[in-house]
Amino acid sequence: MKPMDNFSADRRKLIKSLSLLTVFSVSGLRLVACPAFAGGLPASADFHEFSAFVIGRPVDPVLSGRYFAALQAADGHFIGQLNQAMAASAPFRSHGIDAMLASLSHDSEIFNTLKKITSAWYLGIVGEGASATLIAFHDALMFQPTREYVFVPGYGGGPDSWVTRKHPDVLSEETSQEQQNG
């Protein structure tokens, strides 16, 4: 092997090593910075499993991670509420969510936490009003019962988008003029 060929091979190894080192170091920093890996917090896998219990059916792991992150971002107390709800669910795991709901007051913090999780999965939205975050429109669970019969559009205009727009009356003068000019 010529000295120049040896240099090229060594250089390629060095570049590959640096690339891998960069990827691993960035990934490592991201894992340390992620709130789910901090002490005492449930990991996304725990939220995924708990969501399946609350919803009463298997749930998508990717959406589970997205809902978990959005619920955390929307409510700074969500982790504590989630831990409390998960602990309270232990005696009901073999009986199902209905038994747990029957034992809760509808104004309790645990009931409200369960409502946040259920709402997120069924509506595909976390939060309310202007601070709402759309996570999944097409894959929201509210569309599942009719998915076989009704086309689910792959887009959404956002909350109340149909109300904020001015829609001309079908028989108005303005509409007739637009049709004649257009």
**Which pLDDT score is estimated for 28?**
38
Are residues 124 and 134 in contact, defined by beta-carbon separation less than 8 angstroms? Answer: yes
* Strand stretches in the chain, DSSP E: 125-126, 133-134
Distance CA(114)–CA(120), nearest Å, equals 10
Are residues 108 and 167 in contact, defined by beta-carbon separation less than 8 angstroms? Answer: no
Whether the pLDDT of residue 181 is over 70: the answer is no
Q: What is the largest CA-CA distance in the chain?
A: 86
The pLDDT tens digits for 46-75 are 999 999 999 999 999 999 999 999 999 999
Helix axis angle, 61-74 to 109-123, nearest 10°: 130
Can you read off the two tokens belonging to residue 49? 């499993």
Q: Is the pTM of this model over 0.95?
A: no
- Mean pLDDT is highest, among 1-5, 28-32, 117-121, for 117-121
Can you read off the two tokens belonging to residue 23? 């990827």
**Which pLDDT score is estimated for 130?**
87
The pLDDT tens digits for 74-131 are 999 999 999 999 999 999 999 999 999 999 999 999 999 999 999 999 999 999 888 8
